[in-house]
Amino acid sequence: MTRTARDLLETITGELAPDPRSNPLVPLIARGGADRAVLAALALEQRRVIPADRRAFLHLAERADPEPAAYFTALAEGEALAAGHLETFAAACGVDGARADAYVPLPGCQSYPAYVAWLALNANPPDAVLALTVNFSAWGGYCATIAKALRTHYGFGDDACAFFDFFAEPSPDLDRAATEAVRTAMDEGRLDERRAHEYARLLQSYEAMFWRALARPA
């Protein structure tokens, strides 16, 4: 039986599903045990991640054929929307201009966007589509957990939670774009499954590093 693009995406997503022990922070937030200073640090780190990822996605779109380009363009547009929601979350965490200017980012948190930038410069775009789609499955789950916890344990309103709601919400259009990009690359022999798997594994590792760094800041 011929494997479809959807089969491939689901298989690699399952294989690389994160070990629950790899992320100590989200369970802590889920039960209301994280300090508000940690939430503020999360906002401040994301203020650097979001614009960096947006530029990386736009660069991938420029390098890609039409199907992957549509996927990366949609990702970049999503990052732009998320940036506005992030500022509302940051403000709810007590982040003002002076605090943002004084903040020193954690290397463990910024390793993720650094690797996304590496992919933008070096990866075959269809391979990057597969890797990013796998990673977004984990990220979306974390965001859903955080959004619920912020309302339940921290008293945040809908506006302050909108950043996490945005990423937690399923996106059928984005899923279709990813599947189409992978399918076309498979049909044309332009997908390197081994390399895409490597990229996805590294993204998942850097994702885990992000959360561990926030849980244990230097």
Nearest to 214 by CA among 147, 146, 140, 115: 146
Structure tokens of 176?
């279709």
- Any domain includes 190: yes
Mean pLDDT of the chain: 94
Number of domains the chain contains = 1
Q: Give the CATH number for residue 190.
A: 1.20.910.10
- Any domain includes 174: yes
- Any domain includes 49: yes
pTM: 0.94
- Any domain includes 116: yes
Greatest C-alpha distance within the chain? 59
- Any domain includes 197: yes
Q: Which one-letter DSSP state was computed for residue 218? A: -
| Mean local confidence (pLDDT), 203-212 | 96
- Any domain includes 114: yes
**DSSP notation for 149-174:** HHHHHS---HHHHHHHHHHHS--HHH
- With pLDDT > 70 as the criterion, what percentage of the chain qualifies? 98
Q: 38 lies in which domain range?
A: 26-215
- Any domain includes 53: yes
Q: What is the residue whose two structure tokens read 């008293």? A: 155
How far is residue 203's CA from residue 132's CA, in Å, rounded to a whole number? 8
Note whether 132 and 72 are within 8 A (CB).
no
- Any domain includes 11: no
How far is residue 138's CA from residue 70's CA, in Å, rounded to a whole number? 22
Residue 22: the pLDDT is 87
How far is residue 133's CA from residue 118's CA, in Å, rounded to a whole number? 17
**DSSP notation for 75-125:** HHHHHHHHHHHHHHHHHHTT--HHHHHH----HHHHHHHHHHHHHHHHS-H
Q: 63-122, pLDDT tens digit by residue?
A: 999 989 999 999 999 999 999 999 999 999 999 999 999 999 999 999 999 999 999 999
Note whether 9 and 134 are within 8 A (CB).
yes
Nearest to 50 by CA among 217, 174, 210: 210
Q: 7-41, pLDDT tens digit by residue?
A: 999 999 999 988 878 899 999 999 999 999 999 99
Q: What is the residue whose two structure tokens read 């995406």? A: 9
